[in-house]
Amino acid sequence: MAAVMAPERTAAQHQSLLHFVGSGGWSDEKVLGKIREMVVPAIERQGAVEAWIIDDTGFPKQGRHSVGVARQYCGQLGKQDNCQVAVSLSIANHHASLPVAYRLYLPKEWAEDCDRRRKVGIPAEVGFRTKPEIALEQLRWACASDLPRGVVLMDAGYGAHLIMAWLQQQLARERPDTFTQTAPDRNPNPLQRRGGPYIF
């Protein structure tokens, strides 16, 4: 992007863009909202939204100073290493996908270190939350925002926790005809689909 905007001074423009992204006073939520407003109709022209995808993305890092960097599993590397991890919720159909919620995971060692927090400017209201807790907050937000609904897809590490219980409660309210609960000893999956391709 820097090379396109200022080909004769790419390095300086790159630095300016980094400063804008890192220090700018703009709202992540408003930027994502504007992107959704522009992109969701284009996605839906190719077909209805079919899935909500919960996932995390690792960004390998060499140092220790980037917010949230820690030794943890990094999907890009396929192993544990120094990285930042972001949890996202995307909507998708067979033609395209769009991240609609995105949150940097703050490991407990960062959340509890006052000096590190102060140095990088982590707001006081941001505390430690597990990745499933972040994903659940994103799902709640997406439901309240009335995004186009689809099957919720996630790794087992997300679904084995509170998300499945919340989905079950949400479905009982919104679509009681779609799912039924079965006895735990007969079926380990508390959600038994009776019909229709969509969870929501």
Would residue 108 count as lying in a domain? yes
With a cut of 50, say whether residue 195 has pLDDT above it. no
Q: What pLDDT, on the 0 to 100 scale, is given for residue 196?
A: 37
Task: Compute the distance between CA of residue 89 and CA of residue 102 in angstroms, rounded to an integer.
Answer: 7
Would residue 125 count as lying in a domain? yes
Q: What pLDDT, on the 0 to 100 scale, is given for residue 175?
A: 63
pTM (2 d.p.): 0.76
Residue type present at position 145: S
Would residue 11 count as lying in a domain? no
With a cut of 90, say whether residue 49 has pLDDT above it. yes
Task: Compute the distance between CA of residue 120 and CA of residue 87 in angstroms, rounded to an integer.
Answer: 20
Q: What is the pLDDT of residues 103-154, one digit of tens each?
A: 999 999 999 999 999 998 899 999 999 999 999 999 999 988 889 988 888 8
Q: Give CA separation, 82 vs 101, 111, 158, in Å.
A: 24, 17, 22
Would residue 96 count as lying in a domain? yes
Would residue 90 count as lying in a domain? yes
65-69, 135-139, 171-175: least confidently modelled range: 171-175
Q: What pLDDT, on the 0 to 100 scale, is given for residue 161?
A: 64
Would residue 177 count as lying in a domain? no
Q: What pLDDT, on the 0 to 100 scale, is given for residue 29?
A: 84
Determine the straight-line distance between the first and last CA of the chain, rounded to whole angstroms: 38
* Structural domain total, the chain: 1
pLDDT band at residue 99, thresholds of 50, 70 and 90?
A: very high
Domain that holds residue 46: 26-154
Would residue 176 count as lying in a domain? no
Would residue 179 count as lying in a domain? no
